Amino acid sequence: MVATRSKEGAQILNLDQDTPVRVRYHAEGAANVVFTITSRRGVGSQDDDYGPSGSTTNDGIPRIDVRLKGKLLRLRKDVPSVTPVLDSHRHYENHIEPLFPAESLVEQLLCNITPEFVRKCNVALRTEEEPLMKRPTKRHGVNLSETEPHGLLITDMTCDDKHASTEFKPKWLAQSPSAPLGSKRCRTCALRAMRDVKSNAKLAQFRRDSADFCPLTLVSGDEDVIRPSLEPILLKSIGAPLNILRFVDLTLPYFQNLHLFRILRDLQVEKDPHGILEVDSSNIDFMTAMALRDCTFFLKIPNQDDKGSARIEARLGDLDLKTPDGGKGEYWKKTEQQLIDEGWYTATEKTPAPKGRCLCLLSRNQEYYTD
């Protein structure tokens, strides 16, 4: 079924082979690919590039719909067990959107896409598999679904002339309801420790990435607790170590007073008070909780040259419906039982997790290893 109008009754934008746009690969996850979408002018599109269908700019470039301004295009991959875009979007409208202030969410607008338009995007995607291009090797060979009739236009939270940008997954901001009493690791830290040991402990010991922080620190409100978590988050995207301290100092007061994470934490608890081992994984509240535990936090930070006119902008996105289909429900339960039975929550695992990783906030009274 192809949607023709939004929930509010507005006409849904159609993208087909004749739409005068240029698409360029931006990023991707396991289920979706994100593209920049501009007029045929490409990079450096101007305000005059947006206007009524069929009209042209002063230099003869076909104008594109104003609804594309400030947006990225997200399209579904052709992979098993991925929820159709319309179903996921309706869940978002009915169960996610009402939970947050509008300015705290990455706006997403449903659009119709034709197979011909998707093929055009697949060509752009395959181009990124050539040497020295952007697409990660592990993603090669996976194309977009040409039978999916919908895509999403989402708020562009990438960097611009006035901002640096970063994104990360806050994950589980509250302990798992199934965790044993007296646990020394939260759910995210327990899973990280297990994966480190079961993959390659020696490599894991030296691996530093944006996941290398305890999510509980983000809702602590304590400057000394939050600061060490911000450094790996910002280092991944901003890169230059000399700039990190400035950006940490700039964002630290913001994170200390950020109510959005506390709202997200409270909703995770409210929607799943009993845990995966005690609930039907097809329960709508539980599926919502899993979506809230896997969302992405997008942050735009004024850059060094800005004189104070730009503000920090923060939004939650990637709030996709998480169903138990395709064996995911059983995987969630199996993982949770494994974390309990093998002692990953209580830090009593047979093979100790590598040293040199961040220490869970639940265990901050213990020694912090820095091998």
pLDDT (tens digit, 9 = 90+) per residue, 183-194? 999 999 999 999
The arithmetic mean of pLDDT across residues 99-109, rounded, is: 95
**What proportion of the chain, given as a percentage, has pLDDT over 70?**
87
Residue 304 has pLDDT above 70, yes or no: no
Is 109:156 a contact under the CB 8 Å cutoff? no
The arithmetic mean of pLDDT across residues 271-282, rounded, is: 95
Residue 367 has pLDDT above 50, yes or no: no
Nearest to 219 by CA among 176, 258, 184: 258
Q: Which two tokens stand for residue 266?
A: 């409270």
* Residue 362 to residue 190: CA distance in whole angstroms: 11
Amino acid at 100: F
* Residue 238 to residue 168: CA distance in whole angstroms: 13
Task: Kindly report the backbone phi and psi dihedral angles of residue 33, in degrees, each rounded to the nearest multiple of 5, phi listed first.
Answer: -120, 140
Q: How confident is the model at residue 44 (pLDDT cuts 50, 70, 90)?
A: low
How far is the first Cα of the chain from the last one, in angstroms, to the nearest whole number? 56
The arithmetic mean of pLDDT across residues 242-260, rounded, is: 82
Task: Kindly report the backbone phi and psi dihedral angles of residue 317, in degrees, each rounded to the nearest multiple of 5, phi listed first.
Answer: -145, -170
Residue 233 has pLDDT above 50, yes or no: yes
* Residue 285 to residue 281: CA distance in whole angstroms: 9
Neighbours of 31 (CB within 10 A): 15
Q: Which two tokens stand for residue 296?
A: 């992405």
* Residue 51 to residue 62: CA distance in whole angstroms: 9
- Mean predicted lDDT score pLDDT of the chain: 87
The arithmetic mean of pLDDT across residues 169-179, rounded, is: 96
The arithmetic mean of pLDDT across residues 265-283, rounded, is: 96
Q: How confident is the model at residue 1 (pLDDT cuts 50, 70, 90)?
A: low
Amino acid at 45: S
In the DSSP assignment, the letter for residue 122 is H
The arithmetic mean of pLDDT across residues 49-73, rounded, is: 87
Alpha carbon 150 to chain centroid distance? 20
Distances (CA, A) of 46 to 59, 69, 300, 310, 329: 12, 10, 21, 20, 47
pLDDT score, position 9: 55
pLDDT score, position 310: 56
The arithmetic mean of pLDDT across residues 103-126, rounded, is: 96
Q: How confident is the model at residue 303 (pLDDT cuts 50, 70, 90)?
A: confident
**What proportion of the chain, given as a percentage, has pLDDT over 90?**
58
The pTM assigned to this predicted structure is 0.87
Residue 209 has pLDDT above 60, yes or no: no
The arithmetic mean of pLDDT across residues 335-363, rounded, is: 89
pLDDT score, position 117: 97
pLDDT score, position 206: 45
pLDDT score, position 356: 62
Query: 120 Cβ partners below 8 Å, 6+ apart?
Result: 17, 23
Helix 328-341 / helix 187-199 crossing angle, nearest 10 deg? 90
pLDDT score, position 3: 62
The arithmetic mean of pLDDT across residues 54-74, rounded, is: 89
How many Cα atoms sit within 13 Å of 231 on the Cβ side?
10
Helices (H), ranges, 279-327: 284-292
Neighbours of 114 (CB within 10 A): 17
